[in-house]
Amino acid sequence: MNASPYAERRASRSRFLDVRGLRLHVLQWGDDALATAQRPPLFMLHGWMDVGASFQFVVDDLPTDRLVYALDWRGFGLSESPAADCYWFPDYLGDLEAVLDALVPDRPIDLLGHSMGGNVVMIYAGVRPERIRRLINLEGFGLPESRPQQAPKRYAQWLDELKQPAQLRPYDSLEGVAERLRKTNPRLPEARAAWLAAHWSRQRADGRWEILGDPAHRRSNPVLYQKAEVLECWKRIACPVMWVEGAQSDPGAGWGDRYPRADFEARLAVVPQLERHVLEGAGHMLHHDQPRELALRMERFLG
């Protein structure tokens, strides 16, 4: 890669919080004096196999300064991994609430989540509606509806996977990590890929580079996704919600007819206050593809 290095416009600092038996990493942009009742802290939550630093490009493009936090979920980035065989979705809710209790215990916040993080924030906003002033969901579609008949096969799959060590492929160089990022998302510019690679991986003692994600995240979850339970949470969201998807995103490519678009439209219809956006020139990683356009729309929505 020969592109000029990406230059951060807003510097972040790392904070570490000991919550629920783990040391969790939070990035902070801006200082506490920037937070007001009209512009509360904005919490940004990344998706599966991503890190909080992934939001740097959007934060850089926000038109005005504000206090922003980005959490590394347990088992990702610089947050610790639990001694567990796999990950349980309620733990993300527990970690989020513990972090909010530590950083902003006494005031509502603005909350954003991407993909898996988008699914977490939608549930959390329905469970704790009084804590959220504005909510932004970036491509948090949820999962296909499950059926009880799937349970025996899913449990068997989980038991089989437990017998094999969970592994992620290492890379020979940081450039190799950046190339992997661009292979997954060809829209990611080289400069951003190179910058993100350094925050998405670390060098091992043998000189190779490993992704900052616990391999156990790749194991199947034996607990089936309960659409009806999720929607009961979505119905209780009291704040305005901004839904954003990339025009070139295709969630159906992975799920096929198990999750038709009509099903998702019906899910969104239960959200009481919804504002919808589609970003041209963007796929699933829209905060990488079109950070400036996303930042402008966020600014207008958050006020």
pLDDT at 3: 65
Cβ proximity of 69 and 42 under 8 Å: yes
What is the SS3 assignment for 8? coil
pLDDT at 180: 97
pTM: 0.96
Please list the pLDDT of the chain residue by residue as tens digits (303 residues).
566 789 999 999 999 999 999 999 999 999 999 999 999 999 999 999 999 999 999 999 999 999 999 999 999 999 999 988 989 999 999 999 999 999 999 999 999 999 999 999 999 999 999 999 999 999 999 999 999 999 999 999 999 999 999 999 999 999 999 999 999 999 999 999 999 999 999 999 999 999 999 999 999 999 999 999 999 999 999 999 999 999 999 887 888 889 999 999 999 999 999 999 999 999 999 999 999 999 999 999 998
Q: How far apart are CA 22 and CA 8, in angstroms?
A: 29
Strands 109-114 and 209-211: unpaired
Q: How far apart are CA 211 and CA 225, in angstroms?
A: 27
Letter for the amino acid at 183? K
pLDDT at 65: 95
Biggest CA–CA distance in the chain, Å, is 53
Strands 241-246 and 274-279: parallel
CATH fit for domain 12-149+226-302, picks 3.40.50.1820, 3.30.420.40, 3.90.79.10, 3.30.2270.10: 3.40.50.1820
Q: Closest Cα to residue 2, out of 193, 173, 177, 287?
A: 193
Task: Let me know if 261 is exposed, middle or buried by CB neighbors in 10 A (0-12, 13-18, 19+).
Answer: exposed
Q: How far apart are CA 122 and CA 141, in angstroms?
A: 10
Cβ proximity of 76 and 213 under 8 Å: yes
For the stretch 118-127, what's the b/e string if a residue is b when 16 or more beta carbons lie within 10 angstroms of its beta carbon? bbbbbbbbbe
pLDDT at 1: 52
Give domain limits for the chain: 12-149+226-302
